Structure formats: structure tokens, C-alpha cells
Amino acid sequence: MLVRLRGFREFGIIIFIIIISILIGIRNPRFLTWGNIHDMLLDTAILSILAVGMTMVLVTGGIDLSSESGLALTGMIAGMMIKGNPHFSPLLMLLIGMVLGGIFGAITGLIVSKGKVYPIIATLSMMYVYRGITFIISGGKWINAYEMPDSFKNMATGKLLGFSNLITIAIVVYLVFYFFVNHTRTGREIYAVGSNIEAARIIGINTEFIIWLVYTLSGVLYGLAGVMWVARYASAQNDTASGFVMTIVAACVLGGVSISGGVGTISGVLLGSIMIGIINNALPMIRVSPFWKMALQGLIILVAVLVNILISRNAERAQLKRREARALYHE
């Protein structure tokens, strides 16, 4: 029943995406051109990668507010590195970003798992810590486009099979994490920890390790996204992605991830990210002032959370009814 409902839910998001695209397309025909759709996917690529990391954290019942400034910090370090060593290949930069992000994520993860600090307190603090370090190492300066070699910027502009490289990277990330979350033991253990941490501990899952792991993986992904961000916008700034964590959380809850843990699928999050990408892209096209974006995002999160709760309550009720019917039948 739950599986069917979740499938229904994803189907619902797809229908909604189609309807909203047609409506915006009527208002502004340019919206549905291939160029714009490609641009939209390009923006969504980075968001969707971040959303995967956030999803795993949310599934364990935590939250990672530090991802936006972790992204800025890895982006800044990567920018400074590529400025000093223009011969570094883009692939190496992505790898460096993932390692750096992994280190930052591992620190946050240790604070949450070993230090037993509430995820919200730990990641709120680390959000400001990483942001502050970004300012300190950069001295308040930006890394600009002319300071980056073409090979690095080509990461975003170059294409593979008609898609920008960034989109290809996002697809690879999705395939890898789809497999990891659904078909590996560790991946399933993340859900076990999120559904019932006591039970998970009793059946022998190393819950501390799993919690540390999700923050580290979130770090690896925001490190990757940080390098991609700098390549895409060809600048590394101190306030890169400031406030972006709201967008990430919005994409997750839109995709059906429960903030209290245990529930959330990779495919749902992909749809959620695409939906946010469409909304962000469409707002300027239908001439909504950019100042509306922030409030709309908050509203979207609230509505999505309420809908999630409604759906899961209905599912639970249906399940109870079914159990009741079965009990009556056996009598």
C-alpha cells in the first residue's frame, strides 16, 4: 500500500511538472525551447546532487544546514587552487572537491555521531563556521572568471552527448546513489537507522557509523557540487550559495522525504529537484520579481511538508483498516 502510494505520489509530481510547464509555456513560449530546458537542467544538476546528500541525512532523522557553506568553502578552496595551478585537470579538481567536502562532512558527522550534538545545533554552528572560514582564507576577495583556466570553465560549457558535462555528472551521481541506497547493505541500514534507531542498534547496526557516514557523504556531494558551482558561474565568492540550504530542503520535502526520518527515495528527490528548478527558472520568465523567490521557497516547504503528513496519515489509516478487516476475517 505504502509503496503504491509513494509511486502514486511520484506520478503526481510528474503530472504537476507537466501541467506547470505547459502553463508557463503558454505565458512565455521561450520556456519550452530546448535551450531553456537545457539551462534549467544545468541549474538543477547542482541542486539535485546536493539534494541527494541532504536526503540521506534527512532519512536518518537529521538535517545538514552546513551544506551551503561547505559548498562555498570547497568552492573557494578549489577556486584558489585552480588559480595557482591552472594546469590541474577538471577531473582532478572534482576529486579534490570531493575529498575536501568529505573532510568537512566528516567533521560535522563526528560532532553529531560521537559528540551527540543535536543535528540542528551542530550543523547550524558548522554552517557559520565554514562560512567564516571561507571569508578568512579568501580575505574577502573573489576568484574571478579571468583567473580560471579555460579547461576548468569548460567543465560546465563542454558537452557530452548533447548534454552539458554537469548534467552528465549529476546523472552519474544519481545512478551511483540509487544503487547505493537501494541495493547495498549500508544503504538499507541508513533507512533502518532513520525508521527506528533503537531497533537498528539491537539488530547489530553500527548506528554511530551510519550517522557519521551520511554527513560525510553529504560532505562529499557538496564538495563535488562546490567545484561544479564555481565552474558553472566562473567565480568563487564568499557568499556563494548563501541561503541555498532552503532550496535543498525544499527539493527534498517536495520529493517526499520525511523530515522525521526513515522515508525518502532517490527518484522522488530527483523529481523534487527538477520541480524546484522549473519554479526558479520560470519565475523570471513570467515576470515575478526575484524578491518573491525566498518567500515562495518557504511556502513550498511548508505546503510540501503538510501534504507529506497528510499522505502518510492516510496511508497509516488505510493500513490500520486493512489490518482490522483481516482480523475480522480470521475471526
Partner 1 sequence: MNKKVGLNFGTLFRWEGILVILIIGTSIVNGRLSTHFWSYAGIMDALAVFLEKGFMVLSMVFVLIIGDIDISVASITALSSVVMALSYKAGLPMMLALIVALAVGAGCGFFNGLLISRVPNISAIIVTLAGSSLYRGIAYILLGDQAVGGFPSWYSYLAWGYLGKTNIPFIIVVFLLCALIYGLILHRSTFGRKLYAMGNNLTAARFSGVPVVKIKQIVFTLNGLMAGVAAIFLTSKLGSSRPNIATGYELEVIAIAVLGGVSPSGGRGGIVGACLALILMRLLRYGMGLKNIPGQVMMVIIGIVLVGVVMIPNLLSSSKRRIKITKLPE
- Which residues of the shown chain bind partner 1 in the complex (CB under 8 A)? 60-63, 111, 114-122, 124-129, 131-133, 135-136, 194, 196-197, 211, 243, 246, 249, 253, 259-261, 289, 291-299, 301-302, 305-306, 309, 312-313
Which of residues 8 and 128 has its CB atom nearest to partner 1 in the complex? Answer: 128
Closer to partner 1 by Cβ: residue 73 or 231? 73
Residues in the chain: 331
Smaller CB distance to partner 1: residue 247 or 281? 247
- Distance from C-alpha of 39 to C-alpha of 281, rounded to nearest angstrom: 9
Cβ 224 to partner 1 shortest distance, Å: 24
Q: Is 322 helix (H, G, I), strand (E, B) or coil?
A: helix
Query: Which letter does DSSP use for residue 116 in this model?
Result: -
Alpha helices in 30-89 (DSSP H): 34-59, 67-84
Task: Output the smallest distance, CB 220 to partner 1, in A.
Answer: 21
Q: Would you say 7 or 298 has its CB closer to partner 1?
A: 298
Residue with cell 567536502: 101
Residue 65 CB, nearest distance to partner 1 (Å)? 8
Residue number with CB closer to partner 1 (126 or 228)? 126
Give the start-end residues of each E strand in 131-263. 159-160, 163-164
Q: How far apart are CA 136 and CA 165, in angstroms?
A: 31
Q: How far from the centroid of its chain's Cα atoms is residue 16's Cα?
A: 20
> Whose Cβ is closer to partner 1: residue 29's or residue 132's?
132
For residue 174, the tally of other CB atoms under 10 A from its CB is: 19
Q: What phi, psi does 164 have (nearest 5°)?
A: -60, 150
List the Cα angle 203/208/212 in 5-degree steps.
135
What is the closest distance, in whole angstroms, from the C-beta atom of residue 123 to partner 1 in the complex? Answer: 10
Q: How far is the CB of 202 from partner 1 (least distance, A)?
A: 13
Compute how many other C-beta atoms are within 10 angstroms of the C-beta atom of residue 327: 9
Nearest distance from residue 74's CB to partner 1, in Å?
17
